[in-house]
Structures are given as structure tokens and as C-alpha cells.
Structure 1
């Protein structure tokens, strides 16, 4: 079982196999910007090796890294929810190999198979909730440590 199929174990094997048929292998060299916050989100990845830093632009400050993702982690959820724009930025912290999925193709697959769609959406929503809480905690820590303008 590959890291991608391990990370998608919330799906029954048949659904996981169907989804993996849409995967293509990609490589990101270290320090490559994979996507930018606010840009169009049309794909996602499951990391096979390496590490990715998720970051947020904080007005008046530098980018803040909110989390590091590694082997088996899902990178990108914004492709699933309109307006399909990235809510974070991502950069390869080390050389990264990943399975890449086309968001439009996966959304169509979910439309045609509501069980798969529900299970995948629930899985991604759980990731979304956890990542937003991590980002919130990181930003609160940054403001507490460095002070917020006007506070």
C-alpha cells in the first residue's frame, strides 16, 4: 500500500482504487512554491516523500508557517469548495514527491458516486477543521510573542 492509499484509508478499497486511477506522480524541488494563497485551486496532492510548509500571509509581516506536512498527508483542500481559491500558501521544505489529482476530475467523480463524494468531503472537512485550528493557534502565538499593531 502506498502512502497515498494509506492516507485515504477512510475510503473503502474500491473507492480508493478509483480515486488513485486519477493520480499522476509529480516532483517538487526544495524551495518550490507549490501554490499561493488566493490563487486558483484546481488540484491537490498526497505527499509520498519530503515535507511541505503551509503558510499564511499576515498583513504587515512576513509569511507565517502554520504547519509542516509529510508522508501520507493530503496537501490542498480548496479545490473542493467554491470559489476554489487557496486559503494557504505551500512551499516544498525539502524535495517532494507526490500523487497529484485534478480537482475538476475528482469533483466529477464525486458527483457520479455520491457515497465516494460524501466520504471524501467528510475526510477533507476534518482535515480543514484541524488545519484551521492549527493556523489559528499559530497566529495567536505570533501575535502574543511579537505584539499586534494597535493592541
Structure 2
């Protein structure tokens, strides 16, 4: 998350590093229904949502993709860009018209290598998001496919 987190949500990137990261961004928009990425694809960019909603989904063999989480304002879309082999672990689709800041993954990884403090904070921020998403995926899949109430 870019802005201060809500209780139970990942911590925010510190303001000085958030400003530095934003200087590398450019604004993009995606019409409703646009696929931002697919599981297994090359993770070469990421986004922070300004307006709209993005749904993260997971391929489930023999079934329609399961929507794991719905992301909105100031939330990070994509974390696989930071960790080798830089391949998407989920899919993502614009559930509404989305306006976002887009970041080039290689450029941000280079900034992280060049400034260890920045790199530490970005890694911590993204790591918190990964932990939150893993929990959300577990709960959602149990809700969809587990015994009644298993995801609670």
C-alpha cells in the first residue's frame, strides 16, 4: 500500500521513498475488462492504483479462475517483479476503469540495488503485501472450495 495502512493491512512505504518511487512512474489507464497480466507471464512492471478496482485471480484447474482479492485506491498491483524469477503468481484484471501509476520493474530494482535503505524499505513494503495476499488467497480459496466456514 502506498498510503498509511488500515488495521490488518500491509504497512505503507515511508514518505521519502514513496516520493522517490513516484518520480519514476508514469500514469496509465485500463478500461474495464483489461487483463493486466496472466499467471506465468513475465513480471516486468507493477502499478499503484489511483482510481478504480483491480481483481486478482488464480487459475484453478477444471474451474473458472477464482477471484482472490479486489484492490483499490493506493494499493500495489503486482509483487512478482521484485523476486526472481520475475514471473506472475496470479492474474489481474481491471474490474472498473482503472487509473494507475505504472513502474518499470528493472528500473526500480536498480534503484533498490543502488540505495540499500530504499531497497530495504521497498522490499519490506512488498513483502508485507505478499504476506497479506497469501493470507487473502488462503481464506478466499477455503471459502470457495473448503468445508463450510473453513475460511473464517
Q: Does TM-score exceed 0.5, indicating one fold? A: yes
**Residue in 2 aligned with 1:63?**
65
Counterpart Cα distance in 2 of 1:68 and 1:46: 13
Alignment gaps of 5+ in structure 1 = 147-151
Question: How many angstroms does 1:16 deviate by?
Answer: 2.3
Whole-angstrom CA distance in 1 between matches of 2:78 and 2:28: 15
1:111 match: 113
- Kept after mapping to 2: 8 A contact 1:11/1:116: no
State the SS of the aligned residue for 1:6: coil
Q: Which residue of 1 aligns with 2:128?
A: 126
For 1:133 and 1:17, the matched residues in 2 are separated by: 29
Post-superposition CA distance 1:62-121 (Å, at most 9, x none):
100010000110100000000100011000000000000000000000000000000110
> TM-score, structure 1 length as denominator?
0.88
Match of 1:99 in 2: 101
Q: Which is richer in helix?
A: 1
May I ask how many residue pairs the two structures share in their alignment?
142
1:149: which partner in 2? none
Q: Which residue of 2 aligns with 1:72?
A: 74
After the TM superposition, which residues 1-151 of structure 1 pair with which residues of structure 2 at under 5 Å, given as runs? 6=3, 9-13=12-16, 15-144=17-146
Q: Which has the larger Rg?
A: 1
Cα RMSD for the two superposed structures = 1.7
Paired with 1:57 and 1:6, the residues of 2 have a C-alpha distance of 30
- CA distance in structure 1 between the aligned counterparts of 2:72 and 2:104, rounded to whole angstroms: 20
Shift of 1:20: 1.1
